[in-house]
A and B are shown apart, each in its own frame.
Chain A
C-alpha cells in the first residue's frame, strides 16, 4: 500500500509569546476529534461511512486519534455500488484490517442484479438507487442513529450550508430551510426514535488541508491518486478509465495516458485528469495551479442546477 511521501515533520505548534499558537491543521484536527468523541458518546449506534477516498482516510485517522489507545468504538460502513475501482476495494479491506475496525459492506443487490448503471438510467437515478437507497437501507437495517461522513463544506455550494450535525427525518431527508441552530461547540444530539443524524467532522477542512494533513501524518491513500501511465478512453476533454463494464463508443480505442484521479467515485462517472503528480507535494502543487474545482470531473453533480442539494434532500450524504 503506498504511503504518503516522506520528508515531513510532525505538526509543530508555532510559538508566539510564551504559550504556543496552534497551526491551522492542529486546530482543525482538535475540532474534528471533539466532534467524533461527542457523537460516539451521545448516540447509541454510530457508524462511520468509509468511502476509501482521501477524505475518508483522514476521517478514519482522526477516529483512531480520538480513541487512542483504545479501538474505534463503532464500525465502518462502505456503500459499494459495484462500480468501484478494483484497487479501491483491495485498499479498503487492507485498511480496515490494519486499523482493526469492523468493516460492513452494503450493496443494493436487487438494483445491481437488475443491471442498474448510469448509461441505461441517467446518473441521477443510478446514484439514487446504488448510493442513496443503499445507504438508507443500510442505516435502517443496522438501526444506526448517527453516521459520520467525510464531506467538506468547501466541496459544493449546498454542502457549505450544512451544520456539523445534519438532522435527517425518518426517511433520511434533509430540510435545509429548517436546520437547528448550532452554537459554539455545543451540539444538540437529541433525536426522536427513527430519526438520525449525519455528522461531518471535516466540515471546516479544505481540499488542500486534507492533502497537507495526509502528507504530514503519512496517511496511506489509494494509488489511483498518483499519476501513472494508465489506459484511458479519451472523449473530448474527458479521460475515462477502463474498468469492468465500461461501454466504449463505436470506434473508440484506449490510449495510454499519464493520469490520475482527483476524487474517487464510481468508475463510469469519475473522469481522470492528465497529471505528472507522483507524490503528495506534487499533488498539492498541482492543486494550487488548478483552475477548476475537484467536483468538475464528476459527472453527477452538474446534471442539473442544484443537483447536490436535491440529492441531499432525498437522503444522499
Chain B
C-alpha cells in the first residue's frame, strides 16, 4: 500500500486498475485453536492491509511469545473473544491485492457457533479450511467441510497449519492431506456436491506459505495460499443460469410509471425479452430496464435494476419474473437439506414462516428423511433436529413458491425458516427436490381428516372471542388473514353457528364491538385483556393467545 509514495506511481493508472478488479468472498473454517484468526491477521499484515495504529494497539498483548505479534488480536473484535481467546461470531475483513478485492468471513470453530459458520459460508465463493498439523483432522474440520459442501462453496483450500511445530515435516503434511481428502470424498458423496480441493502447508504464526513462500519447506513446490486465492475463479454460475428476478417493490411515483424493482438473482434480461410471472404464468415483454445511470439494453446478475413491462399485469412484492422458456417449479411441497440454528429444536407440529427470495409463506415440516452424523458421515433416523444438526426434511407450504433446486440456483433454491413467535431465524434450507403437485399421497376417496385440514390451514378449529373496539378487531382479523389463517366472523348473538365452523377446522371469531379502550380475548379457558392503544401489542398478544391455547398448532394438535 505504500505504493503511492513510490516514484512512478500514477493515481489515474491505479484507479483504472481498480476498476478492473473483481471480488472474491471466502470464509475460513476449522477447529478452535487451529489458527484461523492468526492466519487472517497474517494475511492482512503481509499484504499491508492493516494500519500502524492497529498494529500498535495489539503489540505486547495476547498469547504469543515476547516480540511475536499475536495476529489473532487483529481479527477477534469482541471483548469476550479477546478475553476468552476464541472467536464467537463471524468477523468480516477486507483486503486487496493488485489482482483482486477480497472479503473474508472469519468464522468461529466452536460447535455451538456453527450457525455463524453457515452465515459466513452462505455467500462465499471459496472456503479456507484449517487443519492443525499437530492434531490432524478433527470433527470440527469435518463439520465445516460438510457445511461448505452443503452450501455449495465450490473451492476448498485446505491450509495445514502450525507446520513449524512438526519440524516442517513433509510426512506430517501428507498424512493430514490423505486423511482429509478421504473425508472430503465421502462428504461429496453425501451432499452430491464435489468440491475442488487444494492443500497447502503453512505456518500462520511465522508467515510461511501464506503470502511469502516458505524456505523451511523446500519439498513443497505449489502455490502459496494468497496465490491460490488470487487464482480461484469467483463464482459466476448465477450469471449463466436462466433469468430469475424476485420483485422487491413496485415503484409507482406517478401514473405514467410502473416499474418492478429488484436484484437480478440469476441470468440476464434484455430489452424486448419475453418474461413470465412465475405465480400466474402470464407473460409480458420487457419495455425498459431502468437505472439511475440511464436505461440499459441488457442487465445481468447480480445487478439491481427496475423493469418496466409492456402490460399491466398483477405483480407485487414476492413475485418472481423469469425467463419464459425456462420456468421454475411452482410448489407447495419441497424437500430440503437443512441446518437447524435455533436453541429450540425443530417441532413438527409447529407452523414456521418460510422466507424464499422476497416471499414469505407459512410452512410445516412434515417429516424428516434423516439426520447426518458428522462423526461417521452416515445417515441416521431422527425425530427432530437440534441446534447445529443437519438433516434432510420435507416441508409443506400453505402457499406455493416458485423454486429451483439449490444445486442449479443458489438464490431461488435457498430459504430460511423463521419462528413466528420468537422471530428468530431457526433454520437455513437448500432445496433438493420440489413437486409441482400439491396433493399429498392420501387416499382420494376417504373423508378429509382433521390432520389434513391442519396441514393445509396451519391451525386447528376453535373459537376466539373478542370484545373491544371494532377497529382493533378488524386489525386482528386482517393479521390472521395475512398469516393464512381461515376465519369466520360471527356476531356474538349467534353462538350456535360456531360448532360446524370449528369442526371444519376454521377459527370462529365471535365478536362484540364496544366503546372501551381495552380488548378482551378468550379462547376456551384462556383469557387476556390488553390495552388497545398499541395496535401492534394487542395483535401480537392475540397471536400468542392462539398459540398458547393450541389453535395455532404448537403442542396439542395431532399431526400426520
Contact A23 B22 (CB under 8 A): yes
Check if B18 is an interface residue, CB within 8 A of chain A.
yes
Chain B interface, DSSP helix/strand/loop, else mixed: mixed
B291:A68 contact, CB within 8 angstroms: yes
Give min CB distance, A49 to chain B, whole Å. Answer: 21
Chain A contacts of B82 at CB under 8 A?
Answer: 306
Q: Which of the residues B75, B251, B355, B537 comes within 8 Å of A160, measured between beta carbons?
A: B75
CB distance from B317 to the nearest CB of A (A): 6
Q: Which of A27-35, A52-60, A90-98, A107-115 contacts B (4 or more CB under 8 A)?
A: A27-35
A157 touches B302 (CB 8 A): no
Return the CB mask of B87-126 against A: 1 if under 8 Å, else 0: 0111111101000010100000000000110110011000
- Contact of B1 with A by CB under 8 A: yes
Q: Do the beta carbons of B4 and A288 come within 8 Å of each other?
A: yes
- Cβ of B261 within 8 Å of any chain A Cβ, yes or no, is yes
Q: Is A188 in contact with B425, judged by CB distance below 8 angstroms?
A: yes
Q: Give which listed residue, B19, B90, B290, B414, contacts A68 with CB less than 8 A.
A: B290
Query: With A22-B302, A22-B303 in contact, is A70–B251 under 8 Å at CB?
Result: yes
Q: Which residues of chain A have C-beta atoms less than 8 A from B420's C-beta?
A: 190
Docked-complex contact B251 and A203, CB < 8 angstroms = no
Decide yes or no whether A255 CB sits under 8 A from chain B: no
Nearest chain-B residue to A294 (Cβ)? B51
Q: How far is the CB of B469 from chain A (nearest CB, A)?
A: 18
Indicate whether B14 reaches chain A with its CB closer than 8 angstroms: yes
Residues of B within 8 A of A71 (CB): 253
Task: Write the chain A residue with the least CB distance to B9.
Answer: A285
CB pair B537–A193 under 8 Å, yes or no, is yes
Are A161 and B122 interface neighbours, CB within 8 A?
Answer: no
- Nearest residue, chain B, Cβ from A291: B52
Q: Are B423 and A192 touching (Cβ within 8 A)?
A: yes
Cα–Cα, bound, A256→B402 (Å): 65
For chains A and B in complex, what number of residue pairs have CB atoms within 8 angstroms?
A: 222
| List of A residues within 8 angstroms of B415 by Cβ | 186
Report whether B118 and A288 are in contact in the complex, using a CB–CB cutoff of 8 Å.
Answer: no
Shortest Cβ distance from A180 into B: residue: B425
A161 in contact with B4 (CB, 8 Å): no
Within 8 A of A (CB), among B389-421: 410-411, 414-416, 418, 420
Query: Which of A20, A70, A309 has the most B CB atoms < 10 Å from its CB?
Result: A70
- Say whether B12 faces chain A, with CB atoms less than 8 Å apart: yes
| Interface membership of chain A positions 266-293, coded 1 if the CB is closer than 8 angstroms to chain B and 0 otherwise | 0000000000000001101111111111
Contact at A181–B23, with CB atoms within 8 Å? no
Give which listed residue, B122, B302, B414, contacts A31 with CB less than 8 A.
Answer: B302
Contact B239 A190 (CB under 8 A): no
Q: B292: which of A26, A68, A284, A293 is its contact (CB, 8 Å)?
A: A68
B304 adjacent to chain A (CB < 8 Å): yes
Q: CB within 8 A of B15: which of A19, A27, A158, A212?
A: A212
Residues of A close to B234: CB separation below 8 A: 21
A40 on the B face (CB < 8 A)? yes
Asked if A23 contacts B94 (CB within 8 A), the reply is no
Binds B, one of A4-12, A80-88, A129-137, A223-231: A4-12
A285 touches B4 (CB 8 A): yes
The 6 closest A-B pairs by CB, nearest first: A157-B77, A70-B253, A288-B4, A193-B536, A33-B304, A289-B4
Task: Give B contacts to A, CB under 8 Å.
Answer: 1-5, 9, 11-12, 14-15, 18-23, 51-54, 57, 74-80, 82, 88-94, 96, 101, 103, 115-116, 118-119, 122-123, 234, 236, 239-240, 248-249, 251-253, 257, 259, 261-263, 268, 290-293, 300, 302-304, 306, 317, 341, 353, 355-358, 410-411, 414-416, 418, 420, 423-425, 428, 534, 536-537, 540
9 contacts between A and B (CB under 8 A): A19-B239, A19-B240, A21-B239, A37-B249, A68-B291, A176-B78, A184-B410, A288-B3, A306-B79
Q: A158-B78, A185-B263 are in contact. List 17 more A-B contacts (CB 8 A).
A: A28-B23, A33-B263, A64-B292, A65-B292, A65-B304, A70-B257, A154-B94, A157-B75, A157-B77, A159-B77, A181-B118, A183-B425, A193-B540, A284-B15, A288-B1, A293-B54, A306-B82
